[in-house]
Amino acid sequence: MTHQPSGVGKMKNKPKFTQVFSKVAAINYLSAARFFLFASRDVWFVVGLPVFLYEVLQWSLTQIGTFMALWVIAYGLIQAFAPRILRSKNTSNPPGGHTARLWAFILVIFPFTMVLGLYFSWPSDAVIIIGLTLFGIVFAINSALHSYLILAYSDHDKVAMTVGFYYMANAGGRLMGTVISGLAYQQYGLIGCLIGSTVFVLIAALISIKLPEVDANG
């Protein structure tokens, strides 16, 4: 049996924390937008939504699990088709900062509308099912767009570390969203979670203003 040389897979020089940040400003802005984008989902998805469906709408555990599973499956399917949705007929004008800004601001509409719907006592079932379905579709497009942009912006940077930093931001946003989801629901119910979602998406959209366009010529 052949033994691997000692030290394989180990970094000879561990990068400092400050080196984790990219020298390309666009990558840092995109990672920040990604942070708040995923916080905007998990702030209602992880704690607020299932508890609301069980306690307020009195759904069974089977109904809750089925709804959330279908949401995740549909989210994956939309991500798979997102490149076709985003593909520009003009190959000299690929998706870039303008596209990210557009879809981020579109996403703000849905949690904000759901807040209004629950506040003014619209039928809760309809608000939740329709609102979160539409949110999931647009969120998936935003997520797929970010994944395209991180590679497009990484052409002249260290790709492995860049993508690692990007997904670290992704995980950090999910953690923050999860923590705030429980706190917001305890204090303000699902409306509080959706207000948090609206704020986080809006922050992501505003950060996206800083994102540059993609050079089609590489």
CB 101 within 8 A of CB 208: yes
pLDDT in tens, the chain (218 residues): 444 445 444 545 555 545 555 567 889 999 999 999 999 999 999 999 999 999 999 999 999 999 999 999 999 999 988 888 887 655 567 889 999 999 999 999 999 999 999 999 999 999 999 999 999 999 999 999 998 898 888 765 466 667 778 888 999 999 999 999 999 999 999 999 999 999 999 999 999 999 999 876 65
Q: Where are the domains of the chain?
A: 32-86+96-208
Which pair of structure tokens corresponds to residue 174?
Answer: 């999910």
| Beta strand residue intervals within 64-213, DSSP E | none
According to the CATH classification, is domain 32-86+96-208 in 3.30.390.30?
no
Burial of residue 100, with CB atoms counted within 10 A of its CB: 0-12 exposed, 13-18 middle, 19 or more buried: buried
So what's the pLDDT on residue 90? Answer: 52
Give the CA radius of gyration of the chain: 20
Interatomic CA distance for residues 210 and 100, integer angstroms: 10
Per the CB < 8 A criterion, the answer to whether 11 and 20 are in contact is no
What is the model's pTM?
0.85
Q: What is the reported pLDDT for 164?
A: 75
Task: Compute the C-alpha angle 154/216/106, nearest 5°.
Answer: 80
CB atoms within 10 A of CB 185: 24
Cα 104 to chain centroid distance, Å, stands at: 10
Question: What length is written for the chain?
Answer: 218
